[in-house]
Amino acid sequence: MNDTFASIVFFASPLVFAAVGETISEKAGVVNLSMEGLVALSAVIGFMAATVTGNVIVGFLAGMGIGATMAAIVAVSSIELGLNQIAVGFILALLGVALSSFLGDPYVGREGHGVPHLAIAGLSKIPFIGPVFFNQDLMVYGSYVAAIAATFFMFRSRRGLEMQGVGERPEAAFARGIAVNRMRYVYTILGGALAGIGGAAFSLDVKLGWQNGLTQNYGWIALAIVIFGGWNPARAAIGAYVFGALQIIALKMQPHVPSLSQVLGLTPFVVMILILVVIYLPTFRRAADRHPVVRRIFAGDPPSALGTVFRRE
Amino acid sequence: MALELRDIHKSFGDTRANDGVTLTLESGAIHGLLGENGAGKSTLMKILSGYIGADSGEIVLDGTPLRLSAPRDAIRAGIGMLHQDPLVFLPFTALDNLLLGAPAASAKDRKGARAELGRARERFGFALDPDATVRGLTVGERQQLEITRLLWLGARILILDEPTTGISADQRTTLFEALRSLASEGMTVIFVSHKLEEVEDICADVAVMRRGRVVGTSAMPCPSDRLVQMMFGKVLVEAEPPAVEPGEVVLRLEDVTVADRGLATTDLTASVRASEVIGLAGLEGSGQRTFLRACAGLVHPEHGRILLGDRDMTGRGLEAFLAAGVHYMPAGRLEEGLVSGLTIAEHVALVTGNGRFGIDWKQATDEADRRIERFSIRGSASSPADALSGGNQQRLLLALMPPDVRLLLMEHPTRGLDIESADWVWTQLMERRRQGTAIVFASADLDELLRYSDRILVFFSGRVLRTLDARGTSGEELGALIGGKEAVA
Amino acid sequence: MNTAEAARRIGTRLTTSLIPILLALAVVVGLLAAVGAPPFTALGYVWSGAMGGSSQVGDTLMAWVPLTLAGEGLVITFAAGLWNIGIEGQIVMGAIAATWVARIGPDMPFVMLLLMFLAGAAGGALWALLAGVLKTKGRVNEIFGGLGLDFVAAGLAVYLIIGPWKREGIASTSGTEIFRPSANLPVVGTTRLSLVAVAVAIASVVLVWLLMRGTMFGLRLKAVGRNPASARLMGIRTDRYLLGAFGLCGVLAGIAGTIQVAGVWHKLVPSVSGGYGFLAILVALLAAFRALRVPPIALFFAIASVGSAQLTLLLYLNSAIGGVLQAVVVLFVILAGGWQLRRLSKRRSAAAAEAGAPATVAELQASGPAAPVETSGTTGV
């Protein structure tokens, strides 16, 4: 049983990076819809870099670089050129997927590196928690750090407060002397870099190698998880684990309904989006508002200025 | 110690919001800045706080010229502005709002902020719960929070833009006491308002703006009629005699209460007859817009009845009102009236529906050309609406009005228009009136209200304060009433 | 218009379309060189693979058909300000509905195909309306609602293929049983080209062009997409028009799906949409949402898609280079458009300060409708 939970955590970790990264970007007011392509391309480039240099760290750095670059394109086209973030993000999503197939082709089937496994002394001995969370590898620990640090930064630090302000009401942030667009650049690129780590983790850790479609639909689901998490990094991480659990359930069901194994692979994506649709239906929201506990779990409004452009008159 | 504004210019497109403003303000006093809506007060104050950049001009504080390229520079210079709609963050707590943007110096931390809120409570009676979410605070409390924040950041010059809009009488008393106490400590307070009574109440002197310029300054007290005259210009109006006798009752409101976007407008009772022109006077946000929107079926009364002719329309939707011959022209010409990117011909086709399914573009273009000529619109059938000037946009809106309007509801029919366009608009409207259309319009222009209305409803804080016969009313009387001063009238 | 003005216009055209396209080609050439392939030979193969013979032209046109149909559908939804990402699922649902008819319908020529087209159109429309209802009634943003419905449609297709509609004896994702002859579109000679399919696509171009240009529906839709508040005050019921846009787009997508099963695969396969829905979004973006610009751009996309498949056979390269070319072209054209717009608006605001000229840049808006990105995008007044 512990193994099952441990593998949920393990397999969901790249998504944690991606969802936390996108949360940061959106919290500052920029939608980076390119996630699907960003994750695929950083998976390929990360794998290529690690294979060529023989160093897995270089692989992750390359993935970060790709993620940051794609996020920067979204940021520049929105902030400098006033282009629609959705349009640019969507184009980049398709571009990233196509590029990943093309560039990754010679690397299909090559053996990957992996990240060193490291049970954390002490913590890994805690019943249940230990084997599930603290008998993992460094990438997984990195995802905890990303989610926890992002949560603390966002909700407990001054800079994080400013970042939320920029996404919530840029004109008010500006009136308080904050350089709105500079902040948006910083957080969009930072979020892209984090998502790039997630992409690299797919090919360097979760699966040891690259194949076409390795990350298929994970970028889209990362975007959905951001909403599921109510723009809170910690809750986004939980959303990633819920998705991971759905995947494991689907996997475990396969021997029982072998005829449907292909469908089961898709069901987690379907179920995740359906959950999302349901929790945003007005009837559900009204019902949830009456129950404080439910409200706390599902609360979460998008940053008010999400997707808009700010300019000083 | 003085703040000087020298020859400030600022244009938005073809509107000159500030047209050479020069003003000197001494410290240790509350200075009033009076003017009607659109006079350029807010623009000037936003420039002073670094929120927008001036096209030209100079701001000098204690003999040193300031370079204000962003609010950050103004904050450093000790200038703090409370915007008309307080620029607070609704989902955050009061404490977080205080902290957001404060320099990360040692004393400006959570503890310091909490202590500051405590001090504000003792000093000014601002009872703010540091951990309450700002969304739950009233406008008055949001202002108190912003004032506390600005003082905490070390503001020595405090700008308040229309601070009394939407706050309670008690909050206003608290606010005024706080301002007096701050001024007595040597602070410069700039009180921007269009409410005479308040300026008379707390300001040591006043500068009056009109059409982007300072048209006069005076020490207080100063006679109300003089201020009114400066605000609105010489109001020497011969009301136009009614060309036609009013006909049957077109619109009747019976004790209607409406809530629209948070503002409740209560006890509306009125009746409008065919060929009558009713002016709605009052400060922006006093209930005129809600009145018009209710009469157009866009908001539904919580109480009371709305009748068109004999038909009870209470609770009916926009479509029913449109079908009954009601036409609503809101103030935002490009926001709620026209569609950016669509041409004049396309607009004409939209409203005339020259075919049930298909569009005869030849006919639509010809019709557009006819209307362009008739309404003297500077543009062609293929000009997009957003390429027209404000005056021509208003002409287009008039040109798009259906022929058989029984009740025309308008907001600011001539706002932002040059005199020629404004006169022309009213010629058209008077023609409509002769044909039997009843017109209800909201305006901030006293001259316009007095010249064209038969009757004027004066709105104040969501109520009709007084119904006047336009012909027996002077500009001074009306100006005072708008400012909430019943005594003068 | 004087000569200087004309020259400036041509210059604008160059910077906003020709230069980005050349740059995109340069990127692709660079990529090909980077993986050690002879770039120009490869591009030559792409061309010959798509246009080199009647069979190739047939394949290219059969890719052009769904791209055009879906692209025209998206012209309608974009006009209403909607991001119909659910179009992939709408194509799949059209294919599923058509397959259902192909399985149970009367084995009669023409009648069978007619019923398949009707069913396909209905299937696509149903799926699109679902996204529309979620948006107008549930305030669920159409991007995520559509994405979810894409997943559901894909899952349903796979389920049907390996479940209820599996081939005799074997459950495999390679597809259902091949259709009976009456359910297949007639082809020209030995090619895969179906003239019916091409005719349907051309008809869609003409119809959408007429719809957007010459009907009250199209005009009102534009008004709703550009300014819902003004449209509402003109008495237009905005929600109905949004649903109408979804429905019409779904019809075209469903027909595209029908052609995919009846003209290309002759059975239902899991990847029946061929990714043409998402690609068509790029087509529509590049076409700046104009109906008549869709067919040539779709042809370019079809050539890139079909031709690049040759690279796998001839040069052992991954055929995704075609997708790279498509996306890079669109990206560069849009970035160039934004850059041009920025320069213009800067110049105009400088001019406005002197002469008081109003700034209008609507003509050059390459960024598309400002879709609401929050999950609870409101649409009415």
Indicate the residue type of C116: M
Indicate the residue type of B180: R
Contact between B162 and B198 under an 8 Å Cβ cutoff? The reply is no
Report the C-alpha gap between B286 and B482 in whole angstroms: 10
Indicate the residue type of A273: I
**Average pLDDT in chain C:** 86
Q: Average pLDDT of C289-307?
A: 95
Running DSSP on this structure, what letter comes out for residue A206?
Answer: I
User: B449: number of CA atoms within 13 Å, CB side?
Assistant: 30
Q: Which residue of C has its CA nearest to B341?
A: C362
List chains adjacent to chain A, taking adjacency as at least 3 C-beta pairs closer than 8 Å.
B, C
- Is residue A288 predicted with pLDDT exceeding 90? no
Query: Which range among B152-156, C123-127, C365-369 has the greatest average pLDDT?
Result: C123-127
Report the C-alpha gap between C213 and B358 in whole angstroms: 9
How long a stretch of residues is chain A? 313
What digits encode the pLDDT tens for the residues B6-63? Answer: 999 998 877 788 999 999 999 999 999 988 777 889 899 999 999 999 999 999 999 8
What digits encode the pLDDT tens for the residues B205-228? Answer: 999 998 889 999 999 888 877 888
pTM score, whole prediction: 0.90
Comparing CA positions, the residue from C371, C145, C128, C369 lying closest to residue C246 is: C128
Comparing CA positions, the residue from A26, C146, A203, C198 lying closest to residue A35 is: A26
Angle at B240 between CA B237 and CA B245, to 5 degrees: 150
Answer whether B49 sits within 8 Å of A175, measured CB to CB: yes
Answer whether C233 sits within 8 Å of B337, measured CB to CB: yes
Q: What is the per-residue pLDDT for C225?
A: 93
Which residues of chain C neighbour A230 with C-beta distances below 8 Å? Answer: none
Contact between A44 and A100 under an 8 Å Cβ cutoff? The reply is yes
CA C296 to chain centre: 12
Task: Name the pLDDT band for A278 (thresholds 50, 70, 90).
Answer: confident
Of A77, A102, A103, the CB nearest to C338: A77
Give me the residue label for tokens 């703010």: B128
Report the C-alpha gap between C172 and A137 in whole angstroms: 37
Q: Average pLDDT of B480-487?
A: 71
Distance from CA of B320 to the nearest CA of A (A): 27
- Is residue C197 predicted with pLDDT exceeding 70? yes
Residue B453, Ramachandran bin (φ over 0: left; ψ between -120 and 50: alpha; else beta): beta
Q: Which two tokens stand for residue C343?
A: 């320069």
Q: What is the per-residue pLDDT for B165?
A: 72
Distance from CA of C351 to the nearest CA of B (A): 10
Indicate the residue type of B4: E
Report the C-alpha gap between B265 and B85 in whole angstroms: 20
Hey, is B217 helix, strand or coil?
strand
Edge-to-edge strand list for the sheet holding B249-260: B263-273, B249-260, B303-308, B311-312
Task: Name the pLDDT band for C349 (thresholds 50, 70, 90).
Answer: low
Residues of chain B contacting A, Cβ within 8 Å: 12, 49, 51-53, 70-72, 75, 81, 83, 87-92, 96, 99-102, 104
Window from A285-294, B56-65, C173-182 with minimum mean pLDDT: A285-294
Q: Average pLDDT of C260-287?
A: 94
Report the C-alpha gap between B225 and B305 in whole angstroms: 39
Report the C-alpha gap between A65 and A58 in whole angstroms: 10
- Is residue C378 predicted with pLDDT exceeding 60? no
Q: Average pLDDT of C359-377?
A: 31
Q: Which two tokens stand for residue C334?
A: 């849009």
Q: What is the per-residue pLDDT for A225?
A: 92
Higher pLDDT, B335 or A90: A90
Q: Which two tokens stand for residue A88?
A: 């640019």
Task: Name the pLDDT band for B404 (thresholds 50, 70, 90).
Answer: confident
Task: Name the pLDDT band for C314 (thresholds 50, 70, 90).
Answer: confident
Give yes or no for C348 touching B (CB within 8 A): no
Phi and psi of B261, rounded to 5°? 50, 50
Give me the residue label for tokens 């723009």: A231
Which residues of chain B neighbour C360 with C-beta distances below 8 Å? Answer: 384, 386-387
Which residues of chain C neighbour A269 with C-beta distances below 8 Å? Answer: 151, 155
Report the C-alpha gap between C34 and B290 in whole angstroms: 66
How big is the A-B interface in CB pairs under 8 Å?
61
Running DSSP on this structure, what letter comes out for residue C182?
Answer: G
Answer whether C323 sits within 8 Å of A101, measured CB to CB: yes
Higher pLDDT, B418 or A122: A122
Q: What is the per-residue pLDDT for B386?
A: 87
**Average pLDDT in chain A:** 90
Sign of the torsion formed by the C-alpha atoms of A72, A77, A82 and A88: negative
Query: Which range among A114-123, B461-470, C105-114, C200-209 has the greatest average pLDDT?
Result: C200-209
Higher pLDDT, A284 or C79: C79
To probe the interface with B, which of C209, C211, C219 has the most B CB atoms within 10 Å? C219
Q: Which residues make Cβ contacts (< 8 Å) with residue B301, sequence separation at least 6?
A: B256, B257, B258, B294, B314, B315
Contact between B432 and B408 under an 8 Å Cβ cutoff? The reply is yes
* A window 176-205, beta carbon within 8 A of C: none
Phi and psi of B290, rounded to 5°? -65, -40
Task: Name the pLDDT band for C2 (thresholds 50, 70, 90).
Answer: low
Sign of the torsion formed by the C-alpha atoms of A157, A161, A162 and A167: positive
Task: Name the pLDDT band for C91 (thresholds 50, 70, 90).
Answer: very high
Window from A170-179, B194-203, B271-280, C327-336 with minimum mean pLDDT: B194-203
Running DSSP on this structure, what letter comes out for residue C17?
Answer: I
Q: What is the per-residue pLDDT for C354?
A: 39
Q: What is the per-residue pLDDT for C365?
A: 33
Answer whether A220 sits within 8 Å of C147, measured CB to CB: yes
Q: Peptide bond preceding B221: is omega within 30 degrees of 0, i.e. cis?
A: yes
What digits encode the pLDDT tens for the residues A190-238? Answer: 999 999 999 999 999 998 889 988 999 999 999 999 988 989 999 999 9
C30 CB neighbour count, 10 Å cutoff:
10
Contact between C50 and C115 under an 8 Å Cβ cutoff? The reply is no
Report the C-alpha gap between B185 and A79 in whole angstroms: 44
Report the C-alpha gap between A14 and A201 in whole angstroms: 6
* Residue B49 to residues B44, B80, B262, Cα–Cα distance (Å): 9, 6, 29
Q: What is the per-residue pLDDT for B236?
A: 54
Q: What is the per-residue pLDDT for B284?
A: 72
Q: Which two tokens stand for residue C294?
A: 């869709």
Give yes or no for A87 touching C (CB within 8 A): yes
Contact between B183 and B29 under an 8 Å Cβ cutoff? The reply is yes
What digits encode the pLDDT tens for the residues B366-394? Answer: 999 999 998 888 889 999 998 887 788 88
To probe the interface with C, which of A27, A41, A78, A84 has the most C CB atoms within 10 Å? A84
Q: Which two tokens stand for residue C67?
A: 């791209």
Report the C-alpha gap between C46 and C311 in whole angstroms: 7
Q: What is the per-residue pLDDT for C376?
A: 31
Give yes or no for C52 touching A (CB within 8 A): no
Answer whether A174 sits within 8 Å of B70, measured CB to CB: yes
Q: Which two tokens stand for residue B319?
A: 């479509």
Q: Average pLDDT of C211-229?
A: 93
Q: Tell me what percent of the residues of chain B surpass a pLDDT of 70.
A: 94
Distance from CA of B46 to the nearest CA of A (A): 10
Task: Name the pLDDT band for A170 (thresholds 50, 70, 90).
Answer: very high
- Is residue A300 predicted with pLDDT exceeding 80? no
What digits encode the pLDDT tens for the residues B443-459? Answer: 887 888 888 999 999 99
Give yes or no for A217 touching C (CB within 8 A): yes
Give yes or no for A148 touching C (CB within 8 A): no
Q: Which residue of A has its CA nearest to B76?
A: A177
Task: Name the pLDDT band for B239 (thresholds 50, 70, 90).
Answer: low
